[in-house]
Chain A
Amino acid sequence: MIQPRKPYDINELLSCHGDLEAVSNLLSSRLIFVMGKGGTGKTTLSVCLAFIAEKMGLTTLIVEIGDSAGTAQFFGESDAGNEPSRVSSRIWTTGVDPRAELVAYTHHHMKSGFIAGRITKSRLFDYLLAATPGLKEIMTLGRIWRWFTGGPDKDGPAFDRIIVDAPATGHGLSLLSLPKNLGDMIRVGPIAAQVEDIRKLVTDSSRTAVTVATLPEELPVNETLEMMAAAKRDVGVDVSPIFINSVYPDIFTSEESEDIKRFFPDRGQTRLIKSWVNRCQSQQAYIDQILANVTCPVIRLPFFFTNELSTQEVRKLSWSLKKA
C-alpha cells in the first residue's frame, strides 16, 4: 500500500505506481502493440508512451487499426488518415487502409497493369478482402512492416518507435495470430512469402513488444487474462507489462477503511466516503487477481476523476510513468 507523504498533494496521489522499470524495457522495443478492449484506456496509454519516447528524443508513429481514430482525435485531427501526419514535435499518427494496401500489392505483383486494374476495380476484389480470413490483417501488418523496415519516407522521417493501437474487438489478437492462420489458407504466392517475414517480426521479442491496457473491473480483468493466455498459446508471444488504468489513489489505511465502513453513517456526505472505500477495496481485489495470475510486471495508472483527459493531463501522466 502506498502511503503518500503529508501534506497530501493531489499531483502525487494521481501518479503511477508499480514496476515502472518495465516502461523503459517496453520502450526499448521498436515495435509495440497495445492491446485491450474498448474503454480500457488504450489510446491514452499509446499517447503516454509516445510522449515518453518524445522526451527521450525518439520519433514515434502511432498506428490506429480499424475505423478508430482516438489518437488522431486526441491531437485534434478529425480522422487518422492513411499516411503519417505529424501531431507533436516527434509524434506522428496514421491509420491503415487495408484495401489500398491490397490494391498496391496487386499492382506490384501483376505483370499486366491492365489486368491488375480490372481486378482491383472488380467486386471480386472486395469479396476477397472481406471474406478471406486474415487478408485484411496481413495487409495491415504489411504496411506496418514497411514503416518498420523502410528508411525515411519521401516526405516523412524514419520512425524510431512504432506503437500500434490494436483493434478493440476480439482482444485485438486476430491481428497477431493471423500470420499463423493465414499460412494455412494461402499456401503459395507472394502473400505467403510476406507472412513468414511478419511472423518472425511479431514473435521476435528483441524487436517487438506486446502490452495490454485494462481496468480493475470484472470483465476487463478476465478478458485480459484470457487474452494473455491466448497470445502465448496461439501466437507464442508474452504480453508484458500490464497497465491497469483508472486506479483510485489508495489514501486510507486498511484500519481506516474498516473504521469508515463500520462507523460512518450510511447517508449524506459520509455515504460518499464509504462508497470511495468500497470502490478502492473492489479495485484492489481485481488488482490482486491480476497479480496472482501473471508473472509479468504490472503498472497502475491513476484515475483522474474526469471524463476527458486533456493533453496536459496525459503529459503529466507520462512524466509520472517515466520516473523509472
Chain B
Amino acid sequence: MEYRDIRDTIRTDEADPMVIVCCGSGGVGKTTISAALGLSCAMSGHKTLVLTVDPARRLADALGVSPLSHEPQRVNTGKTPELSGELYAMMLDPQYTFDMLIKRYAPNGLKDHILNNRYYMHISRNMAGSHEYMAMEKLYEVFTGGGYDRIVLDTPPSRRALDFLEAPQRVLDLLGHRYFLKLFQPYIKAGQWSSRIFNFLATPVLKAVGQVVGHNALTDLLAFFQLWNDLLFDGFRRRASAVKSLLSSPSTIFFAVTTPQAFPRTEAVGLAHKLVERKFSFAGFIVNRVHEFKNHDSLEKDPPQFQPGELGEKISIAYRLEQRLARSDAHALKALETEAGPAGVIHTIPFSDESIHDLSGLIEVCRHLMRLPVNGSRFKTEE
C-alpha cells in the first residue's frame, strides 16, 4: 500500500484543466471530502469549482452555496494564507438542470407540453438515475464552459457506490431505445400531436396495456415519449456520448470515498475494480473517519496509568473501548489493502471530534490529504 501526498494525484503543478470525481456510498462524508479536495486544488493556486450535492446546512453556509442559486459562488476564504487560488462552489439541482436542457432543446411551442407532462416531472425528479445523469450533465456544461482549472464533483447520495457510473446509461437506454422509435415511426410524420396519440392506442398491444394501467396513464406516457423521441433524443444522445468521453479521458480522475465500515468499504472496492476494468482513471481510496492509534498493541500490554479511584477506572474503560475501535479500523485498512491490490493508493483522514462545517476544519482535512503537519486539535490522533 502507498500512502501518498494527494498533491501528486491531483497534479497540483499541472495547468491543464482536470475533473475530480468523488464516488462512494451514502453517509461516508463524500461532500466534506469533495470540498476539502477542492480546497487542496485552490491551495495549489488553481481556480477551482466544487459541485456539491447535499451539504449539511453549516457546511453549505461555509461554502456560501444555496439550492436557490444556480450559478457558481466564490467561496469567502477570508485571510487564509495557504490559499493562493480561487475557490468556487455550487449546489447541484438535478431538476433545474433537466428543465434547462428541455428549454434548450425543445422547440418553443412544445416546451411547456414537456415541462408539464406528468411523466416528465416524475422522470426528472424521482426516476432512479436521473440525478446522477444530471450531475454528469452539469459537470459537462461547466467543463466545456471553461474558466476553471479544477472541477471537483461530489456525486448524488445513493446506497450503491456504482450507481453514479451506471445510472445515467440506464436512463438513456430507457429513454432512447429503438423499440419506441420503431413503434412511433409510422406516426411521426402524420400531423397533429393529439391525433397521433389516439392512433397509438389503436394498436392491440397498447390497447391491452391500457386495460392494465388505465388509458389516462398511457396517454400521458405516450405523449411524453413521442415528444422525447421526435425532438430531444438526438440532442441528448450526442451530449451523453460527449459526457462519456469526458469521463473516460485522462483528465478526469475518480476517488472512491469510504469509511472503515464493512458496507461502504466493499462498495468502494467494487467501484474501484469497475473503474479500472472500464479504463477510467482511478486515483485511489480516501478512507474517512479512521480512528488512529499509534502502537495500539503495546498500549494493550502496557496500559496507561491514570489517577487511581473511580475517575481513573472510567478513563481506562474509555481507553479500552477506543482501542477496540482503533484495532477494528486498523483491521479494516489491512483488509482494504488486500482487496485493493497493488495499484490501490489509500489516503486516510482521521476521525474528527466535531463534524467539519467550516473552512478551518476543511483546511485540516486538506493538510491530512497533503500529509502536512496538522496543528489543530479536533482530530483524534495521538502523537
CB within 8 Å for A174 and B126 given contacts A110-B208, A305-B325? yes
Closest to B323 in A: A305
- Interface 0/1 of B288-329, CB less than 8 Å to A: 000000000000000010000011011101111110110011
Question: How far is the CB of B327 from the nearest CB of chain A, in Å?
Answer: 9
Chain B residue with the shortest CB-CB distance to A249: B321
Contacts of A7 in B (CB 8 A): 313
Bound together, the chains give a CA A122 to CA B178 distance in angstroms of: 11
Bound Cα distance A266, B315 (Å):
15
Complex interface: chain A residues within 8 A of B304 (CB): 269
B36-44, B117-125, B341-349 - interface stretch: B117-125
- Within 249-275 of B, Cβ neighbours of A (below 8 Å) are at 260-264
**Inter-chain contact B353/A37, CB cutoff 8 Å:** no
| Residue interface mask B343-383, A partner, CB < 8 A = 1 | 00000000001110100000000000000000001001111
Contact (Cβ within 8 A) B214 A189? yes
Shortest A60–chain B CB gap in Å is 22
Contact A278-B354, Cβ < 8 Å, known A13-B317, A119-B209, A131-B221: yes
Q: How many residues of A contact B (CB 8 A)?
A: 72
A125-162 interface with B by 8 A CB criterion: 125-128, 130-133, 135
B interface footprint on A30-67 (CB within 8 Å = 1, 0 otherwise): 00000001111000000000000000000000000011
Q: Are A307 and B328 in contact (CB under 8 A)?
A: yes
Q: Considering the complex, which residues of chain A in the window 1-17 have a beta carbon less than 8 Å from any beta carbon of chain B?
A: 6-8, 10, 13
As a 0/1 sequence over residues 98 to 138 of chain B, the CB contacts with chain A under 8 angstroms (1 = contact) are 00000000000000000000110111001110000000000
**Chain A residues packing against B (C-beta within 8 Å):** 6-8, 10, 13, 37-40, 66-68, 70, 105-106, 109-110, 112, 115-116, 118-119, 122-128, 130-133, 135, 167-170, 174, 185-192, 217-220, 222, 249, 251-252, 256, 266-269, 271-273, 275-276, 278-279, 282, 305-308
Query: Which B positions have Cβ atoms within 8 angstroms of A?
Result: 25-28, 56-58, 118-119, 121-123, 126-128, 157-160, 174, 177-180, 183, 204-206, 208-209, 211-217, 220-221, 224-225, 260-264, 304, 310-311, 313-315, 317-322, 324-325, 328-329, 331-332, 353-355, 357, 377, 380-383
Known: A122-B205, A127-B221. 4 other contacts (CB 8 A): A38-B25, A68-B159, A131-B122, A271-B380
